[in-house]
Amino acid sequence: MATMERIYADPKVCSGKPVIRGTRIMVRNILSMLKAGKTAAEVLQSYPGITKEDIDAAVDYAIELVDEVRLLPRAG
Protein backbone atom coordinates (compact mmCIF):
# COMPACT_ATOMS: atom_id res chain seq x y z
CA MET A 1 0.00 0.00 0.00
CA ALA A 2 1.41 3.37 -1.04
CA THR A 3 0.32 5.03 2.21
CA MET A 4 2.53 2.84 4.34
CA GLU A 5 5.45 3.31 1.98
CA ARG A 6 5.22 7.10 2.40
CA ILE A 7 4.16 7.50 6.04
CA TYR A 8 6.63 6.62 8.77
CA ALA A 9 6.72 6.83 12.56
CA ASP A 10 9.86 6.51 14.68
CA PRO A 11 10.10 7.48 18.36
CA LYS A 12 13.36 9.27 17.53
CA VAL A 13 11.75 11.50 14.89
CA CYS A 14 9.19 14.14 15.92
CA SER A 15 8.39 12.24 19.13
CA GLY A 16 7.03 9.32 17.13
CA LYS A 17 4.39 11.33 15.28
CA PRO A 18 3.69 10.10 11.73
CA VAL A 19 5.83 11.92 9.17
CA ILE A 20 6.42 11.77 5.45
CA ARG A 21 9.17 9.19 5.03
CA GLY A 22 12.61 10.74 4.68
CA THR A 23 11.48 14.06 6.15
CA ARG A 24 10.47 15.57 9.48
CA ILE A 25 7.24 16.87 7.97
CA MET A 26 4.41 15.64 10.17
CA VAL A 27 1.20 14.30 8.66
CA ARG A 28 -0.74 16.54 11.06
CA ASN A 29 0.90 19.65 9.56
CA ILE A 30 -0.22 18.67 6.08
CA LEU A 31 -3.73 17.88 7.27
CA SER A 32 -3.92 21.15 9.22
CA MET A 33 -3.00 23.13 6.12
CA LEU A 34 -5.63 21.35 4.06
CA LYS A 35 -8.22 21.93 6.79
CA ALA A 36 -7.33 25.62 6.75
CA GLY A 37 -8.25 25.72 3.06
CA LYS A 38 -4.78 25.54 1.54
CA THR A 39 -4.54 23.80 -1.81
CA ALA A 40 -2.19 20.93 -2.49
CA ALA A 41 -0.08 23.36 -4.53
CA GLU A 42 0.21 25.67 -1.52
CA VAL A 43 1.19 22.77 0.73
CA LEU A 44 3.86 21.76 -1.79
CA GLN A 45 5.14 25.34 -1.89
CA SER A 46 5.43 25.34 1.92
CA TYR A 47 7.09 21.93 1.97
CA PRO A 48 9.17 21.57 -1.22
CA GLY A 49 10.59 18.26 0.03
CA ILE A 50 7.30 16.40 -0.52
CA THR A 51 5.18 15.42 -3.50
CA LYS A 52 1.46 15.41 -4.33
CA GLU A 53 1.56 11.66 -3.68
CA ASP A 54 2.84 12.37 -0.16
CA ILE A 55 -0.12 14.70 0.45
CA ASP A 56 -2.50 12.02 -0.82
CA ALA A 57 -0.83 9.47 1.45
CA ALA A 58 -1.29 11.78 4.46
CA VAL A 59 -5.01 12.06 3.73
CA ASP A 60 -5.29 8.32 3.11
CA TYR A 61 -3.51 7.67 6.41
CA ALA A 62 -6.05 9.82 8.27
CA ILE A 63 -8.91 7.98 6.57
CA GLU A 64 -7.42 4.63 7.55
CA LEU A 65 -7.12 5.77 11.17
CA VAL A 66 -10.77 6.82 11.26
CA ASP A 67 -11.78 3.46 9.83
CA GLU A 68 -9.86 1.69 12.60
CA VAL A 69 -11.47 3.69 15.41
CA ARG A 70 -14.82 2.09 16.12
CA LEU A 71 -15.47 3.12 19.72
CA LEU A 72 -17.33 6.41 19.84
CA PRO A 73 -19.61 7.60 22.63
CA ARG A 74 -23.32 7.27 21.90
CA ALA A 75 -25.28 10.43 21.41
CA GLY A 76 -28.02 11.19 23.90
pLDDT digits (tens, 9 = 90+) for 6-31: 999 999 999 999 999 999 999 999 99
What is the structure's pLDDT at 44?
98
CB 15 within 8 A of CB 28: no
What is the structure's pLDDT at 67?
81
What is the structure's pLDDT at 73?
60
Report the distance separating Cα 57 and Cα 1, nearest Å. Answer: 10
End-to-end Cα spacing for the chain:
38
Q: What architecture is domain 2-68?
A: Orthogonal Bundle (1.10)
- 29-56 pLDDT, tens digit per residue, is 999 999 999 999 999 999 999 999 999 9
Q: How confident is the model at residue 71 (pLDDT cuts 50, 70, 90)?
A: low
